[in-house]
Structure 1
Amino acid sequence: MTPELAQALVGALVLAGLYAAVGVGFVILYKATGVLNFAQGGLMLLGALIFYSVTTGLGVPWAAAIPLTLLALTAIGALTYGLLFRRLVGAAEFSLVIATLGLNVVLVVIVLMIWGPSTRTMPEPLSRSPWFSLGPVSFSRLDVFLILFALATVIVFDQLIRRSRVGVKMRAVADGPLLAALTKISVHRMSAIAWGVAALCAGVAGIVQAMRLSIDPTGIQALGLTAFPAVLLGGLDSIRGVVLGGVVLAVVQTGATYLIGGAWSDVLAYAVLLAVLLVRPQGFFGSQKVVRL
């Protein structure tokens, strides 16, 4: 194995973690409210730039800046529901999708107005020098941290949805808001929590991207939307499926970049998505359900 291929494999693992983190936000919000949130890319960009500003502008150490950034994103997500999407409860799925696309545009415009379109680079938080090796593949401290950070996010929220009372209430709201309200579950509170968690997951992905590479406003918000094929591959209502979908998508994109150039990475990713959906429309682990958009 060449050193270039070994490095590409490490990059694919980090990218898979990023896709899994932002994809968890897609899944949790869909499971809790039935909303497909195409504003995850804008929230991811917002998280990356807030993290950058807190560390470089305010001088907060990066380890302390991470929870501060995630708290800010959680609050933004909950406020987004309270101010905007609370009024759309019960609306048609197509209307909600269009609303999230509009929200993504608004977020990107706000980011460009505050930070501008310039690309920014974070100071190196952890060493990129080889730390340990598995065969020919070498990992730096930064690689290990980013992979574990994204993986921890997936595990925590998978357990939240499966085992906690909040997760049960979220699923009840998604299955039937009226019935959930009759059982004294606060539909609006659960929906606000789901929006906050989805924004937090997008923030995790934004932080991973900011620490891994430069912060390119156009590239990051597009990367957040590219995670959607990973969600569909794994299953729209399966958090564990998102991990597999993220790995498949990252390997395909990284392999395409390594073998035939980066221009084909997204093309092949969507080609794989179409091939899988033709055979298994619900994805690897998703449940069968028909929704008209």
Structure 2
Amino acid sequence: MNALLSSLATGLGQGAVYAVIAVGFVIIYRATGVLNFAQPALLILGTFATSVFATEMGLPFWVAVPLAMIVLAGVSAGVERIAIRPMVGRPPFSAAIVTVGLFIVLLVIAFRLFDSKSRTVGDPWQLSAICLGGEVTESFGVTGCTGGVQIYENAIARFVIALAVIGLLGLWLTRSKLGLAMRATSLDQETALAQGINVGRMFSISWAIGGGMAALAGALLAANGSVVQATDALFALVALPAIIIGGLDSLKGAVVGGLIVGVAMALTKTYQPQFAPWLGANFENVIPYLLMLVVLLIRPYGLFGTREVQRV
């Protein structure tokens, strides 16, 4: 039971990071109809920016992360203006291919910036843990828990921060005039134009939000006492099964899908070596895609996606 509770806590923390990435995907998809494959590269650039602010400039983690989000929001909006805006009116598939090219370009830039070195973001939690109902032990500077439930503080922090930011974003989208304009654009671009909404501006804002969320996810990714390299950008691709499970156009689905994937991976990592070792090492990395296939067979539009009926 202790292992189960500990795995659930870890999975929820990791799933919250997937949810943040997935929300960035969904915001851009709803506004532009384009699945932004450049999001993983934006995530790792956000991690790099956080690292520079926190470790090289000596800023507190709580200051470094918002600054990195602002920087990546500007970078993402600039990328949209230069590379994506000319694709307006073209088939969504064409724009998606452009984002694949952007992913490659931005990832090359990330490799140059990282200069083959691992980085940290100076998070305040490191490997500190809470021991519930047991005895706290410490070995080589790492806190352990004997006879109780060990919950890492970074898992709690990831979960709380991610859901708080997503909740504030959802509130802003439903209550502010700009948020309502973005929602109108996501529903029908031509009608939004007829109502005087600057659709191009809404595109830029959606990409800026996506970039900011990617930077937050990158900071939370590294906020577990580990180091990050440019190749960790591929971590964001796990969010693709999460958004498909939840529904491509649903913010609620992005959150639920991210948490489902995180918990499923954590439980698989804990119990699969014990009960099904024949599946091999690192089988938890396969679980998101198996869940995605199951959901697609049952609900092709995801758990919370909008059903589309086409009459022929």
> For 1:32-73, what per-residue CA distance to the aligned partner results, in whole angstroms no more than 9, with x for missing partners?
111111111111111011101111111112111111111101
Report the equivalent of 1:160: 172
More off after superposition, 174-183 vs 75-84: 174-183
Q: Give the Å deviation of 1:160.
A: 2.5
1:128 is aligned with what amino acid?
L
Q: Give the Å deviation of 1:79.
A: 0.9
Report the equivalent of 1:282: 301
Unmatched 5+ stretches in structure 1: none
> For 1:121-145, what per-residue CA distance to the aligned partner results, in whole angstroms no more than 9, with x for missing partners?
3445236333464895343443322
Check the 8 A contact 2:12/2:159 in 1, yes or no.
yes
Matches of 1:183 and 1:116 in 2, distance apart? Answer: 49
Matches of 2:216 and 2:281 in 1, distance apart? Answer: 25
Check the 8 A contact 1:158/1:240 in 2, yes or no.
no
Report the equivalent of 1:102: 101
Q: Give the Å deviation of 1:87.
A: 0.9
Report the equivalent of 1:180: 192
Check the 8 A contact 1:21/1:204 in 2, yes or no.
yes
Report the equivalent of 2:202: 190
Matches of 2:133 and 2:102 in 1, distance apart? Answer: 43
Report the equivalent of 1:208: 220
More off after superposition, 120-129 vs 193-202: 120-129
Report the equivalent of 1:21: 20
1:94 is aligned with what amino acid?
F
Q: Give the Å deviation of 1:9.
A: 2.6
Q: Give the Å deviation of 1:100.
A: 1.1
Where do residues 190-269 of structure 1 align in structure 2 (5 Å cutoff)?
Answer: 190-212=202-224, 213-219=226-232, 221-258=233-270, 259-260=272-273, 262-269=281-288
Check the 8 A contact 2:61/2:121 in 1, yes or no.
no
Check the 8 A contact 1:128/1:143 in 2, yes or no.
no
Matches of 2:89 and 2:309 in 1, distance apart? Answer: 17
**Does the residue aligned with 1:84 lie in a helix, a strand or coil?**
helix
Check the 8 A contact 2:43/2:215 in 1, yes or no.
yes
User: Cα gap change, 1:48/1:127 in structure 2, threshold over 3 Å: closer, same or farther?
Assistant: closer
Matches of 1:208 and 1:238 in 2, distance apart? Answer: 22
Normalising by the residue count of structure 2, what TM-score does the alignment of the two structures yield?
0.86
> For 1:154-186, what per-residue CA distance to the aligned partner results, in whole angstroms no more than 9, with x for missing partners?
111222233322222112223332332222111
Q: Is the radius of gyration larger for structure 1 or structure 2?
A: 2
Cα RMSD after superposing both structures = 2.1
Q: Give the Å deviation of 1:282.
A: 0.8
Check the 8 A contact 2:244/2:292 in 1, yes or no.
yes
Choose between structure 1 and 2: higher helix proportion: 1
Q: Give the Å deviation of 1:118.
A: 2.8
**Does the residue aligned with 1:66 lie in a helix, a strand or coil?**
helix
Unmatched 5+ stretches in structure 2: 135-147, 274-279
